Amino acid sequence: MSNPKIEGTDLVKRGLAEMLKGGVIMDVVTADQAKIAEDAGAVAVMALERVPADIRAQGGVARMSDPDLIEQIIKSVSIPVMAKARIGHFVEAQILEALDVDYIDESEVLSPADYVNHIDKWKFKVPFVCGATNLGEALRRLTEGAAMIRSKGEAGTGDVSEAMKHIRTIRGEIAHLSSRSEDELYVAAKELQAPYQLVKEVAATGKLPVVMFVAGGIATPADAALMMQLGADGVFVGSGIFKSGDPAKRAAAIVKATTHFNDPKVVAEASRGLGEAMVGINVNDLPAPHRLAERGW
Amino acid sequence: MTVGVLALQGDVREHINLIDSLGFTSISVKTKNDLDRADALVIPGGESTAISKLLVAFELMESVRQFVRNKPVLGTCAGLILLSDEVDGKLPDQELIGGLPIRVSRNAYGGQTHSFEAEIEISGERENVAFIRAPRILDSGPTRVLATLDGDPVAIQHGKIFGASFHPELTGAKVLHRLFLDAI
């Protein structure tokens, strides 16, 4: 007797994100960094050629990473490997799927390939995570087939203030939606520029139907615990680890703080003796064209 | 009766919801004190490497091992890996909880694009469950096989320890949890 195995379902795509909850996903640019991340207790790694802080510093067009690099990283670790495709670049996404990555991040950190359309993510067996700065944006990404959301923050800055703004905005908008009467949800859907059915579902359940992580500017154990206390399901740490003085130690400390986010003693202990944090940039000092969070719509 | 769900990392909420729906009281277990309050323990899905590191970092490993020797425990996916005595593809320094005399292989069904849903038969009932980057049970040893998929054991019982390579908690499949809760 053989049971049919059904791959690539919504449940299976969203399911992997459920398994990552309470964990830390770390940006890595080499197989060695990926091993350090895994050893520190990362639940997944994001394979890329340059961390956002370097993309910012070096400028130019940022694209999908070299397949060789992604394959080396896949071979070097046992945890899930994610990789970034440019917004709207469905061929980069096809390549990443062919390389058998576990999740694709359609990311504003890379240069957008399409300023009108995002990728039609329903066409893929591999799941996608997408960034959002507000509820409407999150719901539009879900409509296109995203299986996980990350609030954007401002990548490559080490400044947590935008991450704070985005998670507060999304949660505030969900709470507001839940408080509206049923007959107001049609207009709410119009305002959010999202399908009515999805708006109705979020209003009824008081949460997104997928896992939401926080990203963009998290550099310390305290930053990670802050985001978890605000209701994040987990955190992405980009430049914050490998642009710091002692990456292995900082990575393990952020993992601990993410688990015991509600226990200040554990977070205090995890914060000791980590060496230098990434220097960072204040988001307010960034001219508008250099703000990555404004890419995507 | 209080059922704990190890809440260091993973799909804790789904197990809590399932346990609550079966009429039991559930708690999240993050500390030794939490563990002492539990009459049974679920080790959820998640990343087995991360959960193992956290068990060691927060000095819970020995307490959980002791718990496994005395009280009912259920592990799904990462939980099954951690409860196994022998694991192919684990990190060299990854510590296991152990307790199940079986051999499993991590991610043996393939990467995420090969994750799947399937119907299994367990305790005479057919249920839809999810296999996410699932471990494969290579040798079920002296354990009792509760369910198979294409000839492979996918759910097993050894005394009061239950393990599954799939996630009943993602689809709300209740039978395995019911068997486990009956063991309390």
The neighbour count for residue B32, using CB atoms within 10 Å, is 13
For the beta sheet containing A6-7, the strands, ordered from the edge strand earlier in sequence to the opposite edge, are: A6-7, B116-122, B125-131
Residue A2 has pLDDT above 60, yes or no: no
The complex's ipTM?
A: 0.96
Q: Considering CB atoms only, which of A22, A79, A252 is closest to B49?
A: A79
Mean pLDDT of chain B: 97
* Shortest distance, CA B116 to any CA of chain A (angstroms): 4
Which tokens belong to A286?
């960034």
The domain in which residue B41 lies consists of 2-182
Q: Which residues of A touch B114 (CB under 8 A)?
A: 7
- B78: part of which helix (H) or strand (E)? helix B78-83
Q: How confident is the model at residue B23 (pLDDT cuts 50, 70, 90)?
A: very high
Chain A residues contacting B via beta carbons under 8 Å: 2-9, 11-12, 15-16, 18-23, 38-44, 74, 78-80, 97, 100-103, 125-127, 252, 255-256, 259-260, 266
Q: How many domains does chain B have?
A: 1
Give the mean model confidence (pLDDT) for residues A150-173. 95
What CATH number is associated with residue B174?
3.40.50.880
**Interface contact A22-B171, CB threshold 8 A:** no
Give CA–CA dist A198/A183, Å, rounded: 15
Q: What's the CATH number of domain A8-288, 3.20.20.70, 3.40.50.720, 3.20.20.140, 3.50.50.60?
A: 3.20.20.70
User: How close, in Å, is residue B25 to chain A by CA atoms?
Assistant: 22
Write the pLDDT tens digit of every residue in B48-99: 999 999 999 999 999 999 999 999 999 999 999 999 999 998 888 899 999 9
Mean predicted lDDT score pLDDT of chain A: 95
Q: For A24-33, A226-235, A271-280, which range has the lowest pLDDT when averaged over its residues? A: A271-280
Six-digit token pair at A226? 């802050």
Nearest neighbour of B118 by CB, restricted to A4, A40, A259? A4
Nearest to A41 by CA among A237, A228, A243, A272: A237
Residue ranges per domain, chain A? 8-288
Catalytic residues of B, by residue number, are: 77, 167, 169
- Put simply, the chain B residues between 41 and 70 with a CB less than 8 A from any chain A CB are 45-47, 49-50, 53-54, 57-58
Instruction: Kindly report, residue by residue over A175-219, the tens digit of the pLDDT.
Output: 999 999 999 999 999 999 999 999 999 999 999 999 999 999 999
Per-residue confidence band for A293, with pLDDT thresholds at 50, 70 and 90? confident
Distance from the Cα of A96 to chain B's closest Cα (Å) equals: 11
pLDDT digits (tens, 9 = 90+) for B110-125: 999 999 999 999 999 9
Tell me the mean pLDDT in the region B25-34: 98
- Cβ–Cβ < 8 Å for A19, A230: no
A105 closest CA partner among A136, A77, A82, A79: A82
